[in-house]
């Protein structure tokens, strides 16, 4: 098994790439491959020279895993993190690995950032996002609000009076 480290890039097994771009990959598991001898910056430059886009998504996935060795624990955590990556994203970068050794096992925490390799610059909108109805904004307070905040309405005139009184006392000094 390959040694997993920070800045490793993985791509989905079935990925559309620019014509002429050849990536040397190594199989990982569950539909993901390591990209050999490349980090996200280098891969991004190669993709952009072909006229395509390499888009990083700000939302990361952090998962933990255990194993008998440090690499087994990292692979376990990485496997769990990759399961959380949406099908809309076809690459990830291992951004951070935190390793803790216990007497009988290793615990690893791995953070990955998803990327999308595509021709156009705009990200596609998932179908489920289009079908979410947007509720109209409620302009009035709910009927039970007076019970929840009984002094809210009466406090405003009192606060205004306190503000005016403090300003006038400061003006006299």
Cα–Cα distance for residue pair 6/78, rounded to 1 Å: 11
Q: What is the pLDDT of residues 87-120, one digit of tens each?
A: 889 899 999 999 999 999 999 999 999 999 888 7
What own/partner pairs with CB < 8 Å and gap ≥ 24 does 140-147 have? none
Running DSSP on this structure, what letter comes out for residue 146?
A: H
Q: What is the pLDDT of residues 35-72, one digit of tens each?
A: 886 788 888 888 898 889 988 887 888 999 999 999 99
The pLDDT > 70 percentage for the chain reads 73
Burial of 59 (0-12, 13-18, 19+ CB in 10 A): exposed
Kindly indicate the confidence band of residue 14, based on its pLDDT and cuts at 50, 70 and 90.
confident
Question: φ, ψ for residue 169 (rounded to 5)?
Answer: -70, -30
pLDDT at residue 13 in the model: 86
Rounded to two decimals, the pTM is: 0.66
How many other CB atoms are found less than 10 A from the CB of residue 55?
18
Q: Return the exposure string of 16-48: e unless at least 16 CB atoms fall within 10 Å of the residue's CB, then b.
A: eeeeeeebebeebeeebbbbeebebeebbebbe
């Amino acid at each position: 098994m390959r040694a997993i480290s920070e800045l490793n890039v993985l791509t989905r097994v079935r990925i559309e790439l620019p014509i002429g771009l050849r990536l040397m990959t190594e199989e990982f598991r569950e539909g993901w491959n390591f990209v050999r001898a490349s980090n996200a910056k280098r891969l991004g430059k190669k993709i952009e020279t072909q006229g395509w886009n390499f888009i990083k998504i700000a939302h990361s996935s952090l998962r933990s895993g255990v194993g008998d060795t440090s690499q087994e624990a990292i692979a376990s955590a990485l496997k769990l993190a990759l399961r959380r990556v949406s099908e809309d994203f076809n690459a990830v970068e291992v951004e951070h690995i935190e390793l803790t050794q216990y007497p009988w096992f290793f615990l690893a925490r791995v953070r990955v950032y998803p990327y999308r390799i595509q021709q156009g610059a705009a990200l596609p909108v998932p179908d489920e996002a289009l079908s979410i109805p947007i509720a109209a904004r409620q302009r009035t307070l709910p009927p039970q609000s007076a019970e929840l905040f009984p002094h809210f309405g009466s406090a405003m005139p009192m606060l205004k009076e306190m503000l005016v009184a403090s300003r006038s006392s400061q003006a006299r000094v």
